[in-house]
Amino acid sequence: MGERMQIGEVAERTGLSLRTIRYYEEVGLVVPSARSQGGFRLYTDPDVDRLELIKRMKPLGFQLEEMRDLLAILDPTPGSPEIEDPAARLAEFGATAEKACAELRAKLVIAEEFAALLRSHDPSRTRS
């Protein structure tokens, strides 16, 4: 099963807060692989990979139920929901991710144009 990590190390590796990791456990998105004798949560590399996947979904606007469905397709665990048509559902998620990419690219173009405009008006820059 590999090395087991406590929640603090997992937080450090993923960049997620302890509170966020506990919340994801509470809502059933990730469950520690084990508990120490003292009751501490113990995570493995696959648990960390699952958290990284969740972390990628969050800024794209996926809701908890959608995250559960996607995880059930990509990384099923005992108790995962049964997905009626996994291929179709995965295609929907892919389309959502592609749409988010296009929107972010458009925002990046606007931000780069704006930054260039500001640079062109910066009096501290020497003009030739």
Digit-coded pLDDT (tens) for 44-75: 999 999 999 999 999 888 999 999 999 999 98
| Identity at 8, one-letter amino acid code | G
Q: Report the candidate in 37, 111, 39, 97 with the shortest Cα–Cα distance to residue 67.
A: 97
How many Cβ atoms are within 10 Å of 51's Cβ, its own excluded? 23
pLDDT band of residue 83 (cuts 50, 70, 90) is: very high
Integer Cα distance of 50 and 32 in angstroms: 11
Structure-block tokens of residue 76: 């099923």
Q: Specify the pLDDT at position 84.
A: 92
Residue 124, pLDDT above cutoff 60: yes
pLDDT in tens, 2-39: 689 999 999 999 999 999 999 999 998 998 888 888 88
Q: Specify the pLDDT at position 76.
A: 86
Q: Specify the pLDDT at position 98.
A: 94
5-120 is classed in which CATH architecture?
Orthogonal Bundle (1.10)
Q: Specify the pLDDT at position 77.
A: 82
Q: Specify the pLDDT at position 2.
A: 66
Integer Cα distance of 105 and 7 in angstroms: 35
Q: Is 33 helix (H, G, I), strand (E, B) or coil?
A: coil
Residue 126, pLDDT above cutoff 80: no
Q: Report the candidate in 43, 40, 30, 36 with the shortest Cα–Cα distance to residue 79.
A: 30
Integer Cα distance of 44 and 4 in angstroms: 5
Domain range summary for the chain, segments of one domain joined by +: 5-120
3-state helix, strand, coil in the chain (%, to 5): 60, 5, 35
Read off the pLDDT of each residue in 95-106 and give the average, rounded to a whole number: 94
Within 13 Å of residue 39, how many CA atoms lie on the same side as its CB? 0
Q: End-to-end CA distance of the chain, in Å?
A: 63
Whole-model pTM: value is 0.78
